[in-house]
Amino acid sequence: MSLILAALRRHAASHPGKVALQDEHGALTYGELPAEIARLADLLRAAAPRAVAILADNGKAWALADLAAHVAGIPSIPLPLFFSPAQLAHVLRTAAIDLVLTDQPQRLLAALQPPSLSIEAFHGALMQVRLQPAGPAAVLPAGTYKVTFTSGTTGEPKGVCLGRDTMETVAESLRIASAARHDDRHLGLLPLSTLLENIGGLYTPLLAGATICLPGLASVGLSGSSGLDAGRLLDALGDWHASTAIMVPQMLREIVAATRTGTALPHGLRYLAVGGAPVAVRLMETARTLGLPVHEGYGLSECASVVAVNRPDDSRIGSVGKPLPHLELAFADDGEILVRGLRWRGYLGEGDAGTEPDVIATGDLGYRDADGFLFITGRKKNMFVTAFGRNVAPEWVEGELAADPAIAQAACFGEARPFNCAVIVHRPGIPQAAIEAALEQANRRLPDYARVRAWIPAAEPFTADNGLSTPNGRLRRSAIFGRYAAQIDALYPS
């Protein structure tokens, strides 16, 4: 039995007039929701697709399409809005998708370049677009309900296959950990194609019987893959009377910066989850001082988005919280975090991951303190060794640098070098002296082998649009290094 469907039936019986889904175009109550999902599920069954992809802006229609596929037992593949035409074409062809629900069919035309598309109405602005799969389909492991593509992928994306049981278990654990309530109003700030928002911002509030507000992304200040209007985001939190939301670190940085210029914070916020990339300790401390109820979390797609999170009444700044109740953590000899207790289905085209709960090697380094809080110290593949044989996790150094208001972003390098350097994105109007002062302050907090002794001003911010970061803010280090290699080399004596 699906936990989500059982919860929807309970809420429909006990609170039929409560608003479940809401966007700029109207609302749908819990009393109306089961029948609407069932109607759309019947449409999908009649279409009988092998798998259905969703390419659309946030809104009630996206949520209903996802839930209808869930009910119909048809694997769904959320397509990230930031994918290039080549990436969209790769996913559609590899997964042999024969049905796309979309409010932007012109993007399919650009990606696939067919002579024409077969388009029919589905729900609201969503259209059903029939495709003719070309070539053999990649294997979908048995029990796959969703294939998600991580935002950090480049080139040809790799799909993580997840089952209903895994996603619903994570959603229920998040309901418990976040103390989600019937009277919550969750505002979607991330694209619903992002697994974290899909599970934490749709499934978890539905389990709690909360109201989910899903305005279009432009309405909450997002444009493209990395454009952000902090003022509009803050207005949206207030206008939609949000009590909960999920955001990436860059959103939090911009909100904190906006408040320093006098922008008022909205009232009624109860729980703001921050994840997707490392969060600087000083940023979290500043946000808390301003009254923002921010709580950092950690996860990965193979674990259905969340592994650990700070609770409203059990939170420790600097940590990513305690593991969700269904998981167990272990650590390899080198400190790599290992996750147990989760059944996942493998990668698209690579067959089933196995019949027993897997031990998932996360690739992240960390430790747990005596109270059970998990701390992330860096990414295993990002660790570099200096010319003096010292191991440095660049995320640690970058967090100290970016904690200063003068520094928007920083990328640290030092592999086989006698000292470390950084490429720094400074905030507009900040003089060089302020950057030097920020470096001096950060270096005082760092041991000598981790300090930054030279820096280069970045020509532009690290964004997904220019290929220097992922949409959730993780740096693409090799791309940054390649862009500034000559300048970095010039910092060191020959």
pLDDT recorded at residue 150? 67
Instruction: Please report which confidence band the pLDDT of residue 154 belongs to, taking 50, 70 and 90 as the band edges.
Output: very low
Can you give the residue range of the structural domain that contains 419?
383-490
Residues 354 and 454 in one domain: no
Secondary element (H or E) of residue 185: strand 185-187
pLDDT recorded at residue 391? 83
| Tokens 């495709």, residue located | 131
Give the number of other Cβ atoms within 10 Å of residue 76's Cβ.
24
Residues 461 and 312 in one domain: no
> What's the Rg (C-alpha) of the chain?
23
Residues 145 and 221 in one domain: yes
Report the CATH number that the domain containing residue 276 is assigned in CATH.
Answer: 3.40.50.12780
- Give the total number of structural domains in the chain: 2
pLDDT recorded at residue 355? 47
Picking from 375, 407, 422, the residue at the C-terminal end of a domain is 375
pLDDT recorded at residue 211? 98
pLDDT recorded at residue 344? 79
pLDDT recorded at residue 276? 83
**High-pLDDT (> 70) share of the chain, %:** 96
Residues 335 and 237 in one domain: yes
Mean pLDDT of 316-331: 95
Is pLDDT of 406 > 80?
Answer: yes
pLDDT recorded at residue 447? 85
Residues 240 and 153 in one domain: yes
Picking from 312, 346, 375, the residue at the C-terminal end of a domain is 375
Residues 422 and 350 in one domain: no
Concatenate the DSSP letters of all residues of 251-284 into one string: HHHHHHHHHHTTPPPPS---EEEE-SS---HHHH
Is pLDDT of 352 > 70?
Answer: no
Q: Round to whole Å and give the CA distance between 490 and 482.
A: 14
Q: What is the mean pLDDT of the chain?
A: 91
Residues 422 and 442 in one domain: yes
Instruction: Please report which confidence band the pLDDT of residue 153 belongs to, taking 50, 70 and 90 as the band edges.
Output: very low
Picking from 375, 399, 427, the residue at the C-terminal end of a domain is 375
Residues 369 and 395 in one domain: no
Residues 248 and 311 in one domain: yes
Report the CATH number that the domain containing residue 455 is assigned in CATH.
Answer: 3.30.300.30
Is pLDDT of 103 > 70?
Answer: yes
Tell me the per-residue pLDDT of 121-130, one tens digit each, with 9 for 90 and over.
999 999 999 9
Tell me the per-residue pLDDT of 50-82, one tens digit each, with 9 for 90 and over.
999 999 999 999 999 999 999 999 999 999 888
Biggest alpha carbon–alpha carbon distance for the chain: 75
Residues 353 and 404 in one domain: no
Residues 330 and 390 in one domain: no
